[in-house]
Every structure is written in structure tokens, then in C-alpha cells.
A and B are shown apart, each in its own frame.
Chain A
């Protein structure tokens, strides 16, 4: 057992319906884990529960993150401790500019680490550099957060926040969906390039294509709220060829 992210016997309900069912998962520092499963298997619930969204009843189990009981922390406290969720459907926040939002978020994370807000000049330099990597035009930074963004633009913007906030645990919830082929490569490669021994990733996806560019250390097949099989990258290839039938039949 590690002391990074440690989920034991986790069950969670939404409106009396059991969505996560006795889930066990360990993610160590520097590891990349992929969670694969068909639609409706509870993958997004898992990411929301980890990020601390309201509306889920945790009926049993524990989640430990860096030695702390994650469940006792509010969503912003989890964020400030290094948990980042790249949303499947990022929301629009009218009137709030993208760049201002990212600065507010970054400064909040920095404050938790005892750092002063980043100086405007340094911040601009950093965000310009990261936007360039992701092929995000500068004028999009001045637009209102996600307002009128296409599906792909929203996903790229999630990736930008990921690069800017540089979390220790990034949860990517269907980050590849909505991206065209070229954008997909840019986003996947930029995320892959930040792999290091100190930061981990949990990639939630139904397709293998993202995993071809960000090769996971572990692949978990997630069906009906629990992991029913774990393996290496070869498991993702098998799913790509044969689908989830073998796993659903097991049930």
C-alpha cells in the first residue's frame, strides 16, 4: 500500500441508486492509471466523488490522499492539495474572463502552499507559453470562461488549466471526447509531456486512442461501479479489439 491515493471498499449512491460498488484502487506517485468502461458504468461518478462534488452519498469505504482523509475535505481544499479534475463538460461562467479565472485559481492554489500571488508579468509569460503549446490563440484567454467555446475549445481550455495548475493528481474525465484528430494529438502530447515522478494521472475514457499517446502503467476495467479486472496497456488493446462484452458476460 502507498500513501498517495488509496481507495478502499468505496461505495457511493446517488438518489438511492448504488453507482460505486466496493471499489478498491491504489495510485502511487508518478503512476498513470486508466479507467475504462462502457457508458453508464459510473466512471464520471468516480471522478466527481474524488473531487468532492455534492449529491453523492458515500455509504462505505475510505479515500486517503497523501495521508489525509479526503472525504473530510471540501472541493476547494482538495484542489489546493493538488487534485485537479479536467471536466467532461466544462461549464460556462458568463462575465468572468478566462485569464482572470485561471489567475484566481492559480493564486488560490499558491496561497495554500504559502506562496504570494504570481506577479502579473510572470503570470502572463507562463500562460502565453502554455497556450502556445496547446495552440490556444491569445484572444481566447480574454473571452468569458467557456462561453461560446466549441466542445474542442473547452477541452483544450481544460488542458490549459491542467498545465497551469500543475497538480499532483490529475483526473481526466473523457478529455479526448470532442477533440478533432489534430487537436487530440496536441492535447494528449502536452499532457503526456508533463509526466514525472511526482505527479500522477487517472485517465477516464472509453477508447484506447488517448492511451496510445499517454501510455498508462495500469489499465482497470470498470463495470457497474467496480473494477473487475486490472492489467497493463495490453488490456486497453484487447478492449479496443473486442469491446467490453467479455467483461459484461462475466457478470
Chain B
């Protein structure tokens, strides 16, 4: 019996964004604006090899020729790319050898966020990489993981210590030419996490990255690369927060997953970037490219996301089902309140034979927000006996918000089966009254019904995150009662 639904305290409802504080810490910035020198500055800060600088510059040149995508349902004023910092790092961050050297102010920040970096304070079984603005400030349990041959470190370290792996896999799932925001990321990405699981190893603990934007006027461009070698398994969690600010902040991340033969990657996200205030001022633009490649036969990639934050969310975690018998999953809960805009979904590209994919999307809208599921299921002519099941449910909590479901289905093979189910409903007065008649106040009743609506997806989250996610759902719906 799960009791977590019972444990929501009143405080949860009254504190709309509890992570909105700012840490006063000295930072190193790249000069404001974006040009070739910015790219060189970042690469130089990280002592990168020439091939990586060239790779970045190549992306930068490509980016200059591209234009921002306008096909999604999100609307925002033009972004001035010259009016932002592309690199910000807490001073002294470069010489860290162990967590003991981390600035106490940073440790305190993560403690406030509920992410203690001191290993002994962590739940056994979760290793954390903490990324503060542009750099990783510490990774826990590295030594323990090394015993099993698991590599879990910041991207910058990986470039130094495992250049062959980086060279082989970087950009192999999301090429530098992919799209406007991922190409920008390729040019200016500053840090992120790197994971490699050797053949036959089941990663002994959950791996987790916690992203935090702190400095004002800074974009965050991190890059995550996860490689699961043959017959290995890893579960990876990602969490994000940012201070409350009146201006918008850009977050353009790229995540690449590679699953080789028989490998399985489970990637979970709880995205809680600052969503902006009730009038729609401020908030993070979350323009993210996430893609997994089931490169080997019998491999599996599963995305689970709980999206409650950001002024705008534009992301489509996708699976390329290249290997025969490979499978992809996408489980999503997207909540939008006030003036938030969500355009999110997935792409399942079936290339191999007997591939299967499953999409469960739950959209919840309230306030004056808009919430769009956009998804592509594409079955290649040579992908025989492939299957997809898609279920998209939208729940509207009032009359001022909107929900859209836009599925694209391309089945070029008559042996394959694609199923799509979609529902859209307004929260029912009868359900609310029933709960209230049993003693729950209106917000508790909404929270209970919404949690029930999302249950299929919440169950897919690792335990530690499921509780946090449930709490987050309630907080995000604060003030949704008319």
C-alpha cells in the first residue's frame, strides 16, 4: 500500500516554487555574447583537444546558417543570443580533486535542494553528479562504481580521461547538424555527465545528475552521454531547478543514449526549472534534444519524464530502434499552469525487425497554459513485424487552458501494427464532490485525482523519484482551484 498520497502537507500547496533562491558565489564568466571567440574561450577553459574545438567550431558555423524552428505550438519573443553568458562557473571549481574541496556554499545549496553531496548522507544506492551553472561540481560514489568498471563522471573529465569513448560516441546519436538548439549546444556546451557501463555489468546503483542554474543571464548548455555496452543495464535520473528571476533563461541541453546489443537504459527526468510567475514573467526556456539509439539487437531504452517546470518546454525524447527486437518506451507526465507552454512528446523510429515501442503520455493543464503532445511513430519499410502502442490522455482543470494531441504516424510496412488511443477530459465535478464529501479539501481532491490519472507513469519512476514527483505535481497545481 502506498501512503505517499496521504502525506502531502499544507506547506506543499503554499510554496509554489521552493527552489527559487540564489546562491551568492563568485563566478567566472565568459564575455557576454556569442561568437567564435566564445566557443574558443569555453574550449580553452576546459583544456580541450583540438579535435573537439574543431567539432565545436564546425557546429557553430553550421548554427549560423540555421534558423529557429517555428513548427511547434510554443510562442515567445525573439531570443537575443548576444545578450547572454555562455559560460559561468563557480570560481576555483577547476582544481577540485574530491568532494572535500567543494566550496561549502555549494554544498549548502545542494543540501537546500535536498541533494546532499556528502556520500554518507545519501541514500545508499544513488550516485550523484551535480552540475552548477556550466560545470560539474562533484560526483559521488565514483570509486565504488569503478570497482565494477562503471564510469560516471563529468563530461569534462571524460574528455580528458576517456577521449576514445567520447570521440567514438559524441554526436553519434544527435549529430551537430540535427536542429537549431542542439547545434547551438554542440558549439557551446560546457559540461554535463558521462556514463559508460561495461559489457555484462548491471550498474549497482542509480546514477543521477542534478542540474542547477544559478548565475543571472546565463544559458545552460549541458551534454549528457550514456553508453550501455553489450548486455549491461543502467538506470539514470536527472533533476533540475533554477532561481526565480524576471528574465527568461535558456536551457538547451543534449542527451545522447547508446544501447548496444542486449543492453538496457532507463532514463528518468524530473524537470522542475523555474516556471515563471503567475503573470508569465520569467521562467526557463527548456529547449532540449534527447535521443536514444538502440544500436544493438535486443536492446531497450526507456524514457520517463515528469515535466512540471519551465516557462516553455520543447522536448521530444526519442528512440531509434535500429537493432532487431529492440524496444523503446516513453512515459510522460507534463503539467502546465499559469502561462506555461508545453510542446512535448517523442519520436519512435522503427528500423529493425520485430521492434516495439510504447508511448504513455499524460498531460495536465490548468491556469492559462497550453499543453501539446506531439509524437511521431515511424515504421520503416524494412522494419518487419514491428509494433507500437500509444496512449495520450489529457486532463483539463479549467476552461482557460488548452490541450492538444498531435500524433504523426508513418507506417510503411503492412506487417506492422500501430495502435493509438487518445482521451481528453475535464476534471469531473462528480469526482471532486465525491472526494470532498469524504473530507478532502478541493486541492487535496485535485491532487488525488491527478495522481491517480498519472499513476501508470508514476509507477515507472524509481522509488526515490516517485515520491518527489507526486509532491511536485501537487505544488505545480497550486492555485489551480478557481
**Is B truly associated with A?**
yes
Nearest-CB distance from B226 to chain A (Å)? 30
CA distance A91 to B437 in the complex (A): 12
Q: Which residues of A contact B433 (CB under 8 A)?
A: 51, 53-54, 75
Q: In the complex, are the beta carbons of A85 and B437 less than 8 A apart?
A: yes
CA distance A109 to B438 in the complex (A): 8
Q: Are A105 and B3 in contact (CB under 8 A)?
A: no
Render B433-474 as a binary contact track against A, CB cut-off 8 A, 1 for contact: 111111111101100110111111000000000000000000
B430 within 8 A of A: yes
If the complex has contacts A100-B3, A101-B448, A103-B6, are A108 and B438 also in contact, measured as CB distance less than 8 A? yes
The answer to whether A104 touches B452, judged by C-beta atoms less than 8 angstroms apart, is no
Residue pair A101, B453 in contact (C-beta under 8 Å): no
Cβ A108 vs Cβ B434 within 8 A: no
Cβ-based interface call for A97 (8 A): yes
Cβ of A176 < 8 Å from any Cβ of B?
no
Within 8 Å by CB of B437, from A75, A107, A117, lies: A75
The residue from A74, A87, A104, A142 contacting B5, defined by CB atoms under 8 A apart: A104
A95 and B438: CB pair below 8 A? no
A120 at the interface (CB under 8 A from B): yes
Q: Are A120 and B3 in touch, CB under 8 angstroms?
A: yes
B44 at interface, CB cutoff 8 A: no
A149 to chain B, nearest CB (A): 13
Within 8 Å by CB of B455, from A91, A95, A103, lies: A95
Interface residues as binary, A111-122 with B (CB distance below 8 Å gives 1, 0 otherwise):
010000100100
A87, B452: Cβ atoms under 8 Å? no
The complex places the Cα of A15 from the Cα of B6 at a distance, in Å, of: 37
CB distance from B424 to the nearest CB of A (A): 15
**Which residues of B lie under 8 Å from residue A100 when comparing CB positions?**
1-3, 5-6
Contact B454 A74, beta carbon cutoff 8 Å: no
Contact status B439-A105, CB under 8 Å: yes
**What is the interface size of chain A, counting residues whose CB is below 8 A from a CB of the partner?**
37
User: Please, how many angstroms separate the alpha-carbon atoms of A52 and B445 in the complex?
Assistant: 15
Cβ of B430 and Cβ of A76 under 8 Å apart?
no
B72, CB-defined interface residue at 8 Å = no
- Does A5 touch B at the CB level, under 8 Å? no
In the complex the two chains form, is A108's CB within 8 Å of B3's CB? no
Nearest CB in chain A: distance from B442 CB, A: 8
Which residues of the other chain, B, contact A54 by a CB distance below 8 angstroms?
Answer: 429, 433
Contact check, B434 vs A90: say whether CB atoms are below 8 A apart: yes
Provided the pairs A54-B433, A87-B434, A95-B455 are in contact, do residues A108 and B440 lie with their beta carbons within 8 angstroms? yes
Contact of A93 with B by CB under 8 A? yes
B391 at the interface (CB under 8 A from A): no
Which chain A positions have C-beta within 8 A of B428?
Answer: 91
Contact pattern, A 64-108, Cβ under 8 Å of B = 1, otherwise 0: 000000000011101110001101001101111101110111011
Q: CB distance A80 to B437 under 8 Å? A: no
Determine if B400 is an interface residue (Cβ-Cβ < 8 Å): no
Instruction: State in angstroms the CA–CA spacing of A250 and B450 once bound together.
Output: 50
Best-buried of A79, A91, A94, A95 by chain B (most CB within 10 Å): A95
Q: How far apart are the CA atoms of A94 and B425 in the complex, in Å?
A: 13
Complex: how many Å from CA A51 to CA B428? Answer: 17
**Bound complex: CA A78 to CA B436 (Å):** 9
**Looking at the complex, which one of A99, A117, A165 makes contact with B438 (CB distance below 8 Å)?**
A165
Given contacts A74-B441, A80-B439, contact A91 B1 (CB under 8 A): no
Contacts of B441 in A (CB 8 A): 74, 76
List residues of chain B with CB within 8 A of the CB of A78.
Answer: 437
Write out the residue numbers on chain A whose beta carbons fall within 8 Å of the beta carbon of B440: 76, 104-105, 108
Known contacts A76-B440, A80-B439, A91-B431; is-contact A96 B449 (Cβ 8 Å): yes
B407-436 CB contacts (< 8 Å) to partner A: 428-431, 433-436
Q: How far is the CB of A192 from chain B (nearest CB, A)?
A: 22
A103/B452 in contact, CB under 8 A: no
A144 at the interface (CB under 8 A from B): yes
Question: Does A79 lie within 8 Å of B448, measured CB to CB?
Answer: no
Q: How far is the CA of A54 from the CA of B5 in the complex (A)?
A: 26
Whether A161 sits at the interface, judged by CB under 8 Å, is yes
The distance in angstroms between the C-alpha atoms of A51 and B442, with both chains bound, is: 14
**A51 closest partner in B (C-beta):** B437
Bound CA–CA A53/B442 (angstroms): 12
Of residues B3, B428, B434, B438, which shows the largest number of chain A Cβ atoms within 10 Å of its Cβ? Answer: B438
- CB neighbours of A105 from chain B (8 A): 438-440
With A and B bound together, what is the CA distance between A151 and B248 in angstroms? 53
- Rounded to whole angstroms, the CA-CA distance of A144 and B2 in the bound complex is 13
Contact partners of B451 in chain A: CB under 8 A? 95-96
- Give complex CA distance A91, B433 in Å: 10
* B contact residues around A120 at 8 Å (CB): 1, 3
B439 contacts A96, C-beta separation under 8 Å = no
B435 touches A117 (CB 8 A): no
Which residues on A sit within 8 Å (CB–CB) of B6? 100, 103-104, 107, 117
Contact A95 to B439, CB < 8 A, known contacts A100-B5, A104-B6, A120-B3? no
Query: Besides A95-B452, A100-B2, A165-B438, 17 other CB < 8 A contacts?
Result: A52-B437, A54-B429, A74-B442, A76-B439, A76-B440, A76-B442, A76-B445, A78-B437, A79-B439, A80-B439, A91-B428, A91-B434, A93-B434, A94-B455, A100-B6, A117-B6, A144-B452
The chain A residues found within 8 Å of chain B, CB to CB, are 51-55, 74-76, 78-80, 84-85, 87, 90-91, 93-97, 99-101, 103-105, 107-109, 112, 117, 120, 142, 144, 161, 165
Q: What are 20 residue pairs bridging A and B, where the CB atoms are less than 8 Å apart in the complex?
A: A75-B436, A75-B437, A76-B445, A78-B437, A79-B436, A80-B439, A84-B437, A90-B434, A91-B428, A93-B431, A93-B434, A93-B452, A94-B452, A100-B5, A101-B435, A103-B1, A108-B438, A108-B444, A120-B3, A144-B452
